[in-house]
Structure 1
Amino acid sequence: MGLLSLLRKIRSSPEKEARILLLGLDNAGKTTLLKQLANEEVTHVTPTAGFNIKSVAADGFKLNVWDIGGQAKIRPYWKNYFENTDVLIYVIDCSDRIRLKETGDELLEIINDEKMKDVPLLVFANKQDLPNAMTASEVAEHIGLITLENKTWQIQACSAVDGTGVKEGMDWACKNMKK
């Protein structure tokens, strides 16, 4: 799936930009997902010490994806990137059961912020290619997504390494993007 196909779906007005914020704990697969979206090689990905930005311009569209590091010392700075976000993509490592509560708490803090109130939420339940991965519905239940009211959200099972489920999630994000 290339970004150009996503861009065509995102906006009908060529002078507009879309801002996508990509968050999650360290080692969740955010940068791998970003590389997958940009059709880049995903065999060697190093931890993000700060942030990565991919801006793609094509056919009059511009998509800006902000991938912010997920280490505990960086998370307090996430809120500095909330302004003007059109879609929040939150990535969860479904094979890391030990940190499930931690990632759920972080997500809740983000979506309860006033700047993120009306921003649609796409949760990628990543690492489905691993044998001990929780299903997307298990994750949704454990972190409390199913109890969210007045929030547009979707959880999508995926594997950022091979791209499984990524297109389906991005299709949802494009259809539900904050206008």
Structure 2
Amino acid sequence: MMNSAFGTLVSKIKYNQCVMIGHPLSGKKSLMQHYQLCPDEFSYYKSLKFNIWDLFNKEAPIMQYFFTNIKAVIIVFDVQNLNSDLLLKLSNYEELQNAPFLILINKVDQIAEPVLNEIIQMLETGQIKQKWRIQMCSAKTGLGVWEGLDWLDKNL
């Protein structure tokens, strides 16, 4: 009886489907380890249900099918490789028009002092219509890794 009640309670919790995307070697796996998330499986944090995909190399027409029912997007960048192409490409998918974008700038522990204004210009965030936030972080040290998820959870 108790297991049945617990199962019913868990099934009534509404989770928001979230995807984490980034260039190879941007630190997605390191972030997953810090968050204690398992690759290729669903993991949970507050109202977020994560699935982490390495979709960067997929063809654009194929990618849109992965975005059905996605409510939030996490894009991971290596602070030393800030190419705006991925961000701009994702922001143009109709399926993601209402999804907030959490932009994680990872590996900030490897540079002297990241300058947020320069990063905003490099990523061309003025061109995206979605609600967005840039979060400096380091999967290695833990700096800033939870603040971004908390923002994402509050903005769904």
Q: Which residue of 2 aligns with 1:163?
A: 142
Match of 1:135 in 2: 115
Instruction: Point out 4+ residue stretches in structure 1 off by more than 6 angstroms.
Output: none
| 1:8 match | none
Q: Deviations over 1:102-125 (max 9, x none)?
A: xx1121111111000010000001
2:43 to 52, 55, 64: 55
Could you tell me the TM-score, scaled by structure 1's length?
0.70
3-state SS in 1 of match to 2:40: strand
Per the alignment, residue 154 of structure 2 pairs with 175
**Where do 1:38-77 residues align within 5 Å?**
38=36, 52-56=40-44, 63-70=48-55, 72=57, 74=58, 76=60, 77=62
Separation (CA, whole Å) in 2 of partners of 1:15 and 1:148: 35
User: 1:137, CA displacement in angstroms?
Assistant: 3.1
Matched, 1:152 2:150: no
8 A Cα contact 1:26 1:69, kept in partner: yes
Deviations 1:128-154 (CA, angstroms, capped at 9, x unpaired)? 010267434322211201x14642100
Pair member with larger Rg:
2
RMSD, matched Cα: 2.6
Residue 78 of structure 1 and its aligned partner are, at CA, apart by 3.5
- Aligned partner of 2:88 in structure 1 is 108
1:33 and 1:133 map into 2 onto residues whose CA distance is: 21
In the other structure, the counterpart of 2:25 is 27
1:87 counterpart residue number = 72
Aligned residues: 145
Letter in 1 for 2:40: N
How many angstroms does 1:20 deviate by? 1.1
Taking the aligned partners of 2:120 and 2:78, their CA distance within structure 1 comes to 13
Please, what TM-score do these two structures have when normalized by structure 2? 0.79
